Chains A and B, each alone.
Chain A
Amino acid sequence: MSEAALACALLALDPEGLKGAILKGPADGFLVSLRHLSQRRTHRIPPHIGMDRLTGSIDVAATLKSGAPVHDRGLLAESDSLLLLTSAERLSSDKAALIAAAMDHGAAFTVIAHDEGIDDERVAPILAERVAFLLDLKGFEPLDIDITTARKLLPHVAINDRITEGLCQTALALGLSSIRPAVMALRAARAAAALDGRAEVDDDDAALAARLILAPRAVTYPAPPEEEPDQPAPQDAPEPGEEDGSPTPQELADRLLEAVKASLPPGLLAALEKNLRQPGSKAGAGAVSQKTGLRRGRPAGTRQGEPKNGARLALIDTLRAAAPWQPLRRRSNPSAKGVQVEKADFRIRRFKEKRETTAIFAVDASGSAALHRMAEAKGAIELLLADCYVRRDRTALIAFRGKQAEVLLPPTRSLQRAKKSLADLPGGGGTPLAAGIEQSMLVATQVRRAGGIPLVVFLTDGKANIARDGTADRAVALRDAEAAARALRLAGFRTLMIDLSDTRTGPAAKLAEAMGADYLPLPHADASRISASVNAAMKAGA
């Protein structure tokens, strides 16, 4: 007999106290069994259910039809059935929070979350926290029992302090931080006694409750009994073992722990160590990033317009726009029924997309720079490219050498292309720095116009020797470069200067100052530090 089947019976017996279950594995048997035992219907809730369906709102279809507003109260307020959350691991955290809040307010439904996720996908912790059972249904066999007598008995089942304390100690020893499971374990123990036809909870009931409810939430592996003295509890344990030598709460807790240990499958402990050590932090972060990832952008209000070319109709807002005109329109067109919506009332949704960062690498491929540390610069850029790829940022590559600057790679998200054009980067010739800066500014402006956030990363030694007009004049070249740098600063672009020369006081440092760039001398920076500072710059710019 599987314990999941017992859990099913307990849940059918005391749904108010045990609240629900999270199921993993083939759930059909469990559901059939639960439906049968509890005599309740199931209501399927897919992860993409509308928020308004949960909380209730104006029923638009009915409102339009009748011409008078029709409210629907929402599933959470009116449902008293078994809420079956399918693919519950994909339920967004805000919907999970809504369900959790309804549970806190004593909702009549019972949550059955079917976790169909693999690997690190998990049901929102806010729900897992509020239901009694986390069950793995592999090898589930339904239990053929009748719970009607147990249901009558349940309100009269007593639980003594010794068992309460034993369960609490077990919860603490397992490192649980929430008190809810302990409360639910008490309820489960009571239900187990009722199921067995007793009016008093005994140690076996407690062990079952500990195995079913506390064990799956264990954060720490219970310490072996002999290492226990750091537990302050035994001193003030009241009336140790009063009647007929029944174990003290401490002894009971030890026994319960043994039961818990026995119920933990061998592979689980390693998983425990790995997963539950930092509860939430990982799963939570994932849930949050997913939330933003699923949307195409933040809703940014609505505007008048027609719902075509993929624009989505904002129904409520359309109705709102149409509402004030209803009496007038009815007068002019009395035969039409319901709400009279006209073209001018249409409102469509607008979304604000997250602005993406584009890193523009402007690389000095002149002879002087190439001689020095072109290889290192390439290494650094490659590292940066990998980072950009991880963040789904776009990159562009500009090289300046000889007499001009050239866009080797327009803004792209393709790591392959970026890498290839970098490898093919030719070297040698003069340093037309002014042209390089101007070209970068051009690309940066394009990026900004397209709604992105540009970040220009210069890799140069700053030793400009080709002026803007292509003549080889060091003094003019430097002046031109500085002018271009100031223009860049005025345009308000975020820049980073990676100095390829050996000195910190060279022309590159001066240029960095002129363009308001963050300055990073390469001799003191390894590739990973460069990457770190670009990351920092991007975050600041985003």
Chain B
Amino acid sequence: MSLRYPFSAISGQDELLLALLLTAVDPLIGGLLAFGDRGTGKSTAVRALAALLPEIRATTCAYHCDPDSASAQCDHCRKEATHKLRKMSIPVVDLPLGATEDRVLGSLNLERALSHGEKSFEPGLLAQANRGYLYVDEVNLLEDHIVDLLLDVAASGENVVEREGLSVRHPARIVLVGSGNPEEGELRPQLLDRFGLSVEVRTPTEVKTWVEIVKRRDAFERDPEGFTALWEKQEDQTRRRIVKARKHLNDVEVPDAILERAAALCINLKTDGLRGQLTLMRAARALAAYEGAKRVTDDHLKRMAAPSLRHRLRRNPLDETGSTTRIDRAVTEVFGA
């Protein structure tokens, strides 16, 4: 596997980077959807995250269970009193478009079955991605039933396989990251709603930004090792910040007034269901933790409004106004100018 482009060296996509970092601070925010132009660094950013995030301690089973949390372990690990441990970087697994259900869920291990006549489970991509990220490029082109399946697993944190005479359940705590270009096909609204955050990725319009990106990318391609070493310090800094934010996440206070404002915002925008409000609260809290604040403020809420809510607005085909504009308007109305 070739070296990955350093996360800190990505420029011009602040919203996307922040959203990714927040899902690392609080995975409960739910997945992330990045829609936008091609060639704007969506894939690069997600793949760079693996190298950025701190290593985790894991058992040696196929699901790399968390040794410290019995509730999130597979049946095998739960039975063992002591675990063999290893250190590994957070998995970021690519889900290729053509992936079959077998490949995603796991299936009968053909090798064992053929050579030993044994029925055993061959873990799929979901097992590989446990405790990490599952990245689907072009999620809008993925078969609907696979997207359904992924979102179900992402929400329940568990993969249940009942097929070919197998009956297996294993932990699959994944953060689903989808990216795509909306011009090539839309996601169904009921799927949209189930992604935690969504960001719109646009091409930068400033020459300066372009030059910076092109130069960095070029430097990386020509000398990956040297370039990565150059950014190591910054990567370390961000990494430490995430670790700290995770530790303090539960200490961040969410005042009632903030919750009310969040509710007012959702009511103003007529978002369906409570998912939007919940995500907004969690995202604002994660942002506060990331920035070292003790309590969530209006400012956190305002900044998280667009990524938490823009994909949950009801669309009026006659209204051409973009979702972001509508949210900005609502924010102004709720918070005052």
Q: CB-CB contacts of A97-133 with B at 8 A, as 1s and 0s?
A: 1100100111000000000000000000110010000
Cα separation A284 to B43 with both chains bound (whole Å)? 20
From A104, A155, A279, B183 is in contact (CB under 8 Å) with A279
A319 — which chain B residues lie within 8 A by C-beta? 110, 114
B210 — which chain A residues lie within 8 A by C-beta? 168-169, 171-172, 179, 182
B217 within 8 A of A: yes
A409 within 8 A of B: no
Q: Is the CB of B213 within 8 A of A323?
A: no
A472 — which chain B residues lie within 8 A by C-beta? none
Query: Known contacts A97-B138, A172-B210, A186-B218; is A325 also within 8 Å of B117 by CB?
Result: yes
Q: Is the CB of A339 within 8 A of B114?
A: yes
B272 within 8 A of A: no
In this complex, what residue of B is CB-closest to A93?
B141
Q: CB-CB contacts of B89-100 with A at 8 A, as 1s and 0s?
A: 000001011100
A58 within 8 A of B: yes
Nearest-CB distance from B139 to chain A (Å)? Answer: 11
From A17, A169, A231, A280, B184 is in contact (CB under 8 Å) with A280
Cα separation A278 to B207 with both chains bound (whole Å)? 23
Q: Which residues of B contact A (CB under 8 A)?
A: 1-2, 37-41, 43, 47, 94, 96-98, 108, 110-111, 113-119, 137-138, 141, 143, 164, 181, 183-185, 203, 205-208, 210-211, 213-215, 217-218, 221-222
A95 within 8 A of B: yes
Query: Known contacts A51-B98, A97-B97, A323-B108; is A168 also within 8 Å of B114 by CB?
Result: no
Cα separation A310 to B111 with both chains bound (whole Å)? 30
A236 within 8 A of B: yes
Cα separation A124 to B203 with both chains bound (whole Å)? 20
Nearest-CB distance from B318 to chain A (Å)? Answer: 14
Cα separation A316 to B111 with both chains bound (whole Å)? 12
Cα separation A125 to B181 with both chains bound (whole Å)? 11
A241 within 8 A of B: no
A29 within 8 A of B: no
From A155, A168, A176, A187, B211 is in contact (CB under 8 Å) with A168
A55 — which chain B residues lie within 8 A by C-beta? 96, 98
In this complex, what residue of B is CB-closest to A17?
B221
Q: Which residues of A contact B (CB under 8 A)?
A: 16-17, 51, 54-55, 58, 63, 67-69, 93-95, 97-98, 101, 104-106, 125-126, 129, 155, 159, 161, 164-165, 167-169, 171-172, 176-183, 186-187, 231-233, 236, 278-281, 284-285, 287-288, 298, 316, 319-320, 323-328, 339
Cα separation A169 to B206 with both chains bound (whole Å)? 9
Known: A288-B141, A320-B164. 6 other contacts (CB 8 A): A105-B1, A169-B207, A278-B183, A287-B184, A320-B110, A324-B118
From A101, A180, A324, B113 is in contact (CB under 8 Å) with A324
From A105, A161, A178, A186, B40 is in contact (CB under 8 Å) with A178
In this complex, what residue of A is CB-closest to B44?
A104
Q: Is the CB of B110 within 8 A of A324?
A: no
A187 — which chain B residues lie within 8 A by C-beta? 218, 221
Q: List 16 A-B contacts (CB under 8 A).
A: A68-B115, A94-B141, A97-B97, A101-B96, A106-B2, A129-B39, A168-B211, A172-B205, A180-B39, A182-B210, A183-B218, A284-B183, A288-B184, A320-B113, A324-B117, A324-B119
3 A-B pairs closest in CB distance: A178-B39, A323-B113, A284-B184
Looking at B113, B114, B205, the one whose CB has the most chain A CB atoms below 10 A away is B114
Cα separation A97 to B142 with both chains bound (whole Å)? 11
B214 — which chain A residues lie within 8 A by C-beta? 164, 167-168, 179, 182-183, 186
A288 — which chain B residues lie within 8 A by C-beta? 141, 184-185
Q: Is the CB of A327 within 8 A of B117?
A: yes
In this complex, what residue of B is CB-closest to A155?
B222
From A63, A104, A179, A328, B213 is in contact (CB under 8 Å) with A179
B97 — which chain A residues lie within 8 A by C-beta? 93-94, 97-98, 101
A172 — which chain B residues lie within 8 A by C-beta? 205, 207, 210
Q: Is the CB of B217 within 8 A of A326?
A: no
Nearest-CB distance from B119 to chain A (Å)? Answer: 6
Query: Known contacts A68-B115, A179-B40; is A232 also within 8 Å of B206 by CB?
Result: yes
A316 — which chain B residues lie within 8 A by C-beta? 110
In this complex, what residue of A is CB-closest to B118?
A324
Q: Is the CB of A177 within 8 A of B114?
A: no
Nearest-CB distance from A186 to chain B (Å)? Answer: 5
Q: Is the CB of B117 within 8 A of A101?
A: no
Cα separation A112 to B41 with both chains bound (whole Å)? 24
Looking at B41, B43, B203, the one whose CB has the most chain A CB atoms below 10 A away is B203
Query: Known contacts A98-B97, A177-B37, A280-B181; is A164 also within 8 Å of B215 by CB?
Result: yes
B39 — which chain A residues lie within 8 A by C-beta? 129, 177-181
Q: Is the CB of B211 within 8 A of A165?
A: yes
From B38, B116, B117, B215, A126 is in contact (CB under 8 Å) with B38
Cα separation A125 to B185 with both chains bound (whole Å)? 13
In this complex, what residue of A is CB-closest to B112?
A323
Cα separation A320 to B137 with both chains bound (whole Å)? 31
From B37, B98, B208, A233 is in contact (CB under 8 Å) with B208
Nearest-CB distance from A96 to chain B (Å)? Answer: 9
Nearest-CB distance from A347 to chain B (Å)? Answer: 11
B41 — which chain A residues lie within 8 A by C-beta? 179
In this complex, what residue of B is CB-closest to A279?
B183
B110 — which chain A residues lie within 8 A by C-beta? 58, 69, 316, 319-320, 323
